[in-house]
Amino acid sequence: MDHDHLAGVQAIAALEEPTRRQLYELVTRSPSAVSKDEAAAALAIPRTTAAFHLDKLVDGGLLSVVYERRCGRSGPGAGRPAKLYRRSDLQVEISLPERTYDVAALLLAAALADAESSGESPAKALARHATDHGRSLGESSEGDLLQVLNRQGFEPHEDGPDILLGNCPFHVLAKEYSALVCGMNQQLLAGVLDGVGDEEREAVISPSPGHCCVRIKLRAE
């Protein structure tokens, strides 16, 4: 599980506590940042309880802290700025098993844009972008193929010299548009293999129940 996905899981877990969830909803609905006192009054809870849960939401990345003077005065005698809470920039999206439809969307959008501007076929543009993206992922993994596959949600496990992929990160798209998406997946994984420098294996289309449509196999001699 990669860092972003783990952070998302932790953020969702933080909202399971009822008071914390109510505070998060209060802050996100407010047009301006909210103080501990305002939060405590709105939920009719002690100020210390509000402060505890608000800070837990900050720790989880769901809220951020700003310091402002509410009286409008500045300079000496204006007092200390108040600690206020507002929604953070964290975007939480959790899917179990892990899906990465944002990757598919970016690759498809880039391919379509290229095809529109250059006259290249969308399928060829998609294959090129998928391969380039996979190669970039592989090059950033320091040669660890299983690590990069895990980070991308493929749930790999070794089967002799082959690697089976227990999850397709583009599952719904692959069901509806199998030829297009499985081809994109194959090119992405071919790029990963190239990026990690694995010349002994290749990514091939090999659908099987409960697995990704692509399998990483030892090259035939």
pTM of the complete model beyond 0.85: no
- Residue 79 is predicted with a pLDDT of 62
| 5-27 pLDDT per residue, tens | 545 556 666 777 888 889 988 99
3-state SS, the chain, equals CCHHHHHHHHHHHHCCCHHHHHHHHHHHHCCCCEEHHHHHHHHCCCHHHHHHHHHHHHHCCCEEEEEECCCCCCCCCCCCCEEEEEECCCCCCCCCCCCCHHHHHHHHHHHHHHHHHHCCCHHHHHHHHHHHHHHHHHHCCCCCHHHHHHHCCCCEEEECCEEEECCCCCHHHHHHCHHHHHHHHHHHHHHHHHHHCCCCEEEEECCCCCCCCEEEEECCC
CATH number of 3-87: 1.10.10.10
Domain positions in the chain: 3-87, 101-218
Taking the chain (221 residues) in runs of 10, the rounded mean pLDDT of each run is: 53 76 88 92 93 89 85 55 86 59 91 92 94 94 88 88 89 90 95 94 89 90 67
pLDDT score of 192:
96
Architecture of domain 101-218: 2-Layer Sandwich (3.30)
pLDDT of 1 reads 47
Q: What pLDDT was estimated at residue 51?
A: 93
For residue 117, the model assigns a pLDDT of: 92
